[in-house]
């Protein structure tokens, strides 16, 4: 099963054909309103809904049963996207794709992209992707991992999210061997074939694949 989460980020950053994604949908905060507007069924609307007007929230509540809405206070420890991800994890999906979680406020973007460093998401680290029209962000756990090239992307980057040891990029355009962790984004690498292999012993590595200049 694939679960898609739509957060409330800028609509202009949505990938093309967003709503042709297979699977079921969760709306996080204003993402729920976007799904409602486009008549996309959702299994859950979750968040503090502070980006919705009173009228919009009332419409969402009338549209969904009370079992399909989690309305939390604005003063909370988790982001709206994080709450959606926690629910998705509990459904034991094969894949989780998150849209509308990047762009606009940089604190929101960084908070979302670093969620996979939290131990509570250990079971879905390699099942989760953050996607916008220019980027696909995925994650790897320790061991030897193969990274498959996404269509139309050019640039490849790696960011250790925590204590990553013995990190190696094996067969990209630029190889790398690190015995000691550096909290640095190893960016602007490239594929030389349809896949790249990395390996490391501990920690979580974030992997970015990006198109060239929005093409």
Q: How many domains does the chain have?
A: 2
| Residues ≥6 apart with Cβ < 8 Å to 145 | 197, 198, 199
**93 and 144 housed in the same domain:** no
Of 77, 101, 133, the residue at which a domain comes to its end is 133
- β-pair partners for 129: 97
Phi, psi of 79 (to 5 degrees): -75, 165
For every residue of 155-172, DSSP letters joined together read EEEEEE-S--BSEEE-SS
Same domain membership, residue 143 and residue 102: no
| 147 and 195 in a common domain | yes
Question: Does one domain contain both 142 and 40?
Answer: no
Domain that holds residue 201: 134-215
Compute mean pLDDT per 10 residues along the chain, 215 residues long, and list them: 96 95 97 96 94 93 87 85 96 98 92 95 98 97 97 94 94 92 91 96 97 67
Among 79, 111, 133, identify where a domain stops: 133
The pLDDT of residue 215: 42
Judgement on whether residues 107 and 46 belong to the same structural domain of the protein: yes
The pLDDT value recorded for residue 145 is: 98
- Are 114 and 141 members of one domain? no
**pLDDT score of 214:** 47
Q: State residue 142's pLDDT score.
A: 97
Q: Are residues 152 and 176 located together in one domain of the fold? A: yes
Q: Please indicate, yes or no, whether residues 143 and 69 belong to a single structural domain of this protein.
A: no
Per-residue confidence (pLDDT) for residue 104, from 0 to 100: 84
Residue 86 shares a structural domain with residue 118:
yes
Domain end residue (candidates: 133, 152, 174) = 133
User: What pLDDT score was predicted for residue 102?
Assistant: 95
pTM of the complete model beyond 0.85: yes
* The predicted structure's pLDDT at residue 8: 94
The CATH number covering residue 123 comes to 3.40.50.10240
Q: Residue with structure tokens 């996080």?
A: 28
What pLDDT, on the 0 to 100 scale, is given for residue 77?
A: 80
């Amino acid at each position: 099963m694939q679960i898609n989460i739509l957060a409330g980020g800028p609509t202009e950053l949505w990938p093309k054909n967003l709503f042709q994604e297979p699977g079921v949908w969760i709306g996080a905060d204003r993402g729920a309103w976007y799904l409602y507007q486009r008549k996309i069924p959702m299994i859950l609307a979750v968040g503090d809904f502070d980006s919705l007007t009173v009228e919009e929230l009332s419409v969402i509540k009338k549209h969904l049963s009370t079992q399909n809405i989690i309305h939390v206070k604005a003063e909370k420890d988790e982001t709206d996207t994080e709450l959606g991800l926690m629910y998705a994890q509990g459904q034991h999906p094969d894949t989780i794709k998150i849209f509308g979680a990047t762009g606009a406020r940089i604190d929101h973007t960084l908070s979302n992209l670093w969620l996979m460093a939290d131990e509570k998401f250990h079971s879905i680290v390699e099942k989760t992707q953050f996607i916008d029209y220019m980027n696909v962000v995925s994650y790897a756990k320790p061991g030897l991992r193969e990274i498959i090239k996404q269509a139309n992307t050019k640039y490849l980057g790696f960011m250790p999210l925590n204590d990553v040891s013995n990190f190696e990029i094996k067969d990209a355009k630029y190889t790398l061997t690190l015995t000691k962790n550096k909290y640095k984004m190893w960016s602007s690498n490239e594929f030389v074939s349809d896949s790249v292999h990395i390996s490391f012993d501990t920690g979580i590595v974030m992997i970015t694949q990006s198109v060239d200049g929005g093409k």
